[in-house]
């Protein structure tokens, strides 16, 4: 697979991430070797590394059927196979959503989820984790025929009685224009599979690219997973129109429902099949003019800037790449689309990931730097203290010892405050966990189901859904309040320790529940659209709604799980600096007292003791320098622009 500049950029982004992982890892290892970290800190580093590794870049292709989505994927990504690998043909072709990715932990194969799985309420998210539910066909990577024949599965259909199709949510007798109409025997053609996941080694997919091909409109509308998760989560959506069809009513519906609602940015409109305008009787200028008109009318209809509309010919682009025909490739304008994708998509993702890693890494590194800073201050003070004892009599030394003891007693008192704070902190942490725990969510879902069951009208369904969203929102608002309380408490404690014991604690790390609430808003918007006007619902619709509800519940569960993980990391991160510095301070007090005592007992000469401490000062200085260098290595990597890449060589 190659996609010119896009491919190179994605590969550059992949290797940047790998280098970053190495740098962060090295830092973590160094901390461990120098006894500067604990399991909480190592856990944070591991999570950062894991997230960086698993980071994927996904592009979803969305459109009415037969606009050329699959052909476009073939042309952009699969031309190296020298043939059409994803099936593309007139009429409905792709029958189920198809994800193309590479997970080295699994064999190369296509996994197919039977359509019957829709009869159960299990959402796709859950079925993903159950290998037994999937039918798996091995693929011999590199062998174009093996790849193409495995891919052929995505077009498979079955004929089933109308009642069964209705139960699957694929047939609605009241729909004036059903996607699948019954034949004379009362059978309806339905997709054989509900979802396909293609796992195939390939340089582009190996860097974490995920390509999502979707079937035309009706199947999209009935698989909530696509609407709720796959499409909104994609980094870019390519919405495809066909120049010969113009913008139809159903194109506009797909655009509104599945693209413009969920993607404010990262959307590309492709005006495909421009080769239909290539006509020997018209000259280039006329063709150009007509294209410009089409682009402008598409941009007006979809309310999107004309620069976001890319006229291409996927088919000619594919042929040109396979045959090495540069002139045809230029004429297909596919390289323009690829360039726009690479210029926008990868850099955007790069910036997002960079900012996140910077934030996480800096928080972590600053804990270490201030810890080392405190240690250095401690030894320097000790040196100063001991140097002051030179030539002094026993009384002075005695006096110093009691001063340190008094200081220690003061500190012990503050530690009791810290202990009290810890109790409050633990109690509040528990409150958070129970608020967004599994049980809490289960209760919300149960009561929402009851509200829904009590009514056969869509208004009842909607009330059920609204009650679920209201309850979950209340959870996050409450969590936000508790988080604020903990932050205030911690700030006060940090300040006290800084002022009274000379610690150098910065402001506690902030945490916001905003993103969970935003995510719930997004789910709500989608749900509103899905549930439409207040009408009596048919049995088929009812089944569909219920499935939609289950998908929403699954999505909310993911939000809860994410919030749990993030809150946990935050809770650890706010308590860690103060505990670390307090430990450090205790150690310093002990060492100071110890030094003075040794001098008192004459077990060691003052000079020898001073030399010893001076050595440890040098050690700390060195650690500080190494830490600074490692941090600046990570920063340099973060700052580094993804290598400016040459323009793609045509073919």
Ligand X SMILES: Nc1nc2c(ncn2[C@@H]2O[C@H](COP(=O)(O)OP(=O)(O)OP(=O)(O)O)[C@@H](O)[C@H]2O)c(=O)[nH]1
| Min dist. Cβ of residue 262 to Mg ion (A) | 20
Dihedral, 87, 91, 97, 98 alpha carbons, nearest 10: 10
Do residues 217 and 117 touch, judged by C-beta distance below 8 A? no
Please say which residue, 314 or 544, places its beta carbon nearer to ligand X: 314
In this complex, which beta carbon is closest to ligand X, that of residue 313 or of residue 458?
A: 313
Cβ distance 505 to 370 under 8 Å? Answer: yes
Q: Which is nearer to ligand X, 216 or 464 (CB)?
A: 216
Cβ proximity to Mg ion: between 44 and 92 the closer is 92
Burial of 617 (0-12, 13-18, 19+ CB in 10 A): middle
- Number of neighbouring beta carbons within 10 Å of residue 23: 19
Residue 294 interface partner, choices ligand X, Mg ion, none, CB cut-off 5-8 Å depending on type:
none
Count Cβ atoms within 10 A of the Cβ of residue 146 and give its class: 0-12 exposed, 13-18 middle, 19 or more buried.
middle
Least distance in angstroms from the C-beta of 141 to ligand X: 22
Q: Which is nearer to ligand X, 275 or 519 (CB)?
A: 275
Q: Which does 273 bind (CB under 5 to 8 A by kind): ligand X, Mg ion, none?
A: ligand X
Q: From Mg ion, ligand X, none, which one binds at residue 68 (CB under 5 to 8 Å depending on kind)? A: ligand X
Closest CA to 64 of 224, 247, 230, 189: 247
66: left (phi over 0), alpha (psi -120 to 50) or beta: left
Distance CA 172, CA 541 (A): 8
In whole angstroms, the minimum distance from the beta carbon of 70 to Mg ion comes to: 3
C-alpha span between 322 and 213 (Å, rounded): 21
| Contacted by 276, from ligand X, Mg ion, none: CB < 5 to 8 Å by type | ligand X
End-to-end CA distance of the chain, in Å?
12
With respect to ligand X, which residue has the nearer C-beta, 336 or 607?
336
Close Cβ partners of 96 (under 8 Å, ≥ 6 residues apart): 112, 113, 115, 154, 191, 193, 194, 195, 196, 215, 219
315 binds, among ligand X, Mg ion, none (CB under 5 to 8 A by kind): ligand X
| Cβ proximity to ligand X, 222 vs 315, nearer residue | 315
Shortest distance, CB of residue 322 to ligand X, whole angstroms? 14
- SS3 state of residue 311: strand
Least gap, CB of 279 to ligand X (angstroms)? 13
Q: Which residue ranges make up the site for ligand X (CB under 6 A)?
A: 63, 65-71, 88-90, 92-94, 215-216, 272-273, 275-276, 313-315
**Which of Mg ion, ligand X, none does residue 353 bind (CB under 5 to 8 Å by kind)?**
none
Closer to ligand X by CB, 277 or 593: give it.
277
- Residues found near Mg ion in the complex (CB under 5 A): 69-70, 93-94
Name the minimum Å distance from CB 309 to Mg ion.
21
Please give the C-alpha separations between residue 598 and each of 86, 377, 400, 402, in angstroms, as whole numbers.
80, 21, 13, 14
Beta strand ranges found along 363-480 (DSSP E):
none
Query: Could you tell which of Mg ion, ligand X, none binds residue 90, using a CB distance below 5 to 8 A set by kind?
Result: ligand X
Q: How far apart are CA 169 and CA 119, in angstroms?
A: 9
- Shortest gap between Cβ of 167 and ligand X (angstroms)? 24
Give min distance, CB of 83 to ligand X, in A. Answer: 13
Nearer to ligand X, 331 or 354 (CB): 331
From CA 592, how far away is CA 383, in angstroms rounded? 9
Instruction: Tell me whether strands 135-138 and 157-161 are parallel, antiparallel or unpaired.
Output: unpaired
Q: Which one of Mg ion, ligand X, none is in contact with 462 (Cβ closer than 5 to 8 A by kind)? A: none
Minimal distance in Å, beta carbon 92 to ligand X?
4
Residue 101 binds which entry of ligand X, Mg ion, none, CB below 5-8 Å type-dependent: none
């Amino acid at each position: 697979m190659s996609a010119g500049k896009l491919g190179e950029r994605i590969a550059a982004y992949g290797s940047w991430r790998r280098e970053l992982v190495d740098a962060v890892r090295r830092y973590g290892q160094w901390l461990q070797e120098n006894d500067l970290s604990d399991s909480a800190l190592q856990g944070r580093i591991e999570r950062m590394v894991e997230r960086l590794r698993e980071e994927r870049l996904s592009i979803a292709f969305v459109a009415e059927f037969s606009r050329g989505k699959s052909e476009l994927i073939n042309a952009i990504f699969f031309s190296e196979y020298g043939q059409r690998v994803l099936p593309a043909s007139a009429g409905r072709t792709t029958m189920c959503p198809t994800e193309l990715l590479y997970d080295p932990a699994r064999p190369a194969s296509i996994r197919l989820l039977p359509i019957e799985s829709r009869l159960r309420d299990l959402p796709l998210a859950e079925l993903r984790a159950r290998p037994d539910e999937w039918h798996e066909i091995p693929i011999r990577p590199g062998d174009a025929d093996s790849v193409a024949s495995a891919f052929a599965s995505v077009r498979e259909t079955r004929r089933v009685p109308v009642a069964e199709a209705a139960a699957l949510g694929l047939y609605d007798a009241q729909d004036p224009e059903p996607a699948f109409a019954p034949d004379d025997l009362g059978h309806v053609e339905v997709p054989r599979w509900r979802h396909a996941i293609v796992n195939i080694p390939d340089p582009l997919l190996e860097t974490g690219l995920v390509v999502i091909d979707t079937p035309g409109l009706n199947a999209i509308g009935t698989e909530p997973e696509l609407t709720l998760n796959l499409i909104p989560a994609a980094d870019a959506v390519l919405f495809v129109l066909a120049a010969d069809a113009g913008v139809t009513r159903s194109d506009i519906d797909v655009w509104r429902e599945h693209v413009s609602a969920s993607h404010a940015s990262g959307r590309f409109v492709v005006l495909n099949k421009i080769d239909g305008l290539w006509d020997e009787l018209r000259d280039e200028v006329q063709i150009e003019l007509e294209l410009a008109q089409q682009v402008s009318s598409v941009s007006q209809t979809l309310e999107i800037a004309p620069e976001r509309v890319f006229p291409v010919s996927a088919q000619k682009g594919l042929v040109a790449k396979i045959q090495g025909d540069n002139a045809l490739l230029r004429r297909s304008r596919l390289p323009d689309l690829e360039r726009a994708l690479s210029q926008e998509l990868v850099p955007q993702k790069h910036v997002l990931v960079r900012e996140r890693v910077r934030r996480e890494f800096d928080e972590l590194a600053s804990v270490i730097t201030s810890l080392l800073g405190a240690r250095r201050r401690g030894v320097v003070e000790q040196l100063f203290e001991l140097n002051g004892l030179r030539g002094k009599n026993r009384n002075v030394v005695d006096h110093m010892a009691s001063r340190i003891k008094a200081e220690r007693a003061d500190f012990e008192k503050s530690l009791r405050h810290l202990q009290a704070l810890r109790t409050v902190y633990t109690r509040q942490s528990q409150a958070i966990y129970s608020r967004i725990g599994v049980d809490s969510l289960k209760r919300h879902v149960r009561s929402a189901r009851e509200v829904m069951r009590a009514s056969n009208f869509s208004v009842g369904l909607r009330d059920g859904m609204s009650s679920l969203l209201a309850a979950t929102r209340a959870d996050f608002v409450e969590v936000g309040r508790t988080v604020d309380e903990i932050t205030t408490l911690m700030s006060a404690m940090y300040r006290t320790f800084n002022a009274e014991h000379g610690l150098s604690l910065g402001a506690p790390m902030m945490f916001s529940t905003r993103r969970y609430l935003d995510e719930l808003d997004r789910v709500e918007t989608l749900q509103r659209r899905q549930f439409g006007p207040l009408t009596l619902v048919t049995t088929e619709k009812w089944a569909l709604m219920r499935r939609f509800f289950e998908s929403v519940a699954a999505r909310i569960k993911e939000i809860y799980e994410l919030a749990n993980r993030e809150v946990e990391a935050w809770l650890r991160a706010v308590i860690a600096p103060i505990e670390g510095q307090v430990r450090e301070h205790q150690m310093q007090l002990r060492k100071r007292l110890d030094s003075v005592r040794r001098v008192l007992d004459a077990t060691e000469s003052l000079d020898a003791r001073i030399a010893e401490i001076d050595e440890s000062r040098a050690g700390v200085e060195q650690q500080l320098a190494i830490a600074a260098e490692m941090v600046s290595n990570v920063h340099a990597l973060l700052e580094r622009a993804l290598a400016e890449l040459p323009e793609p060589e045509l073919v």
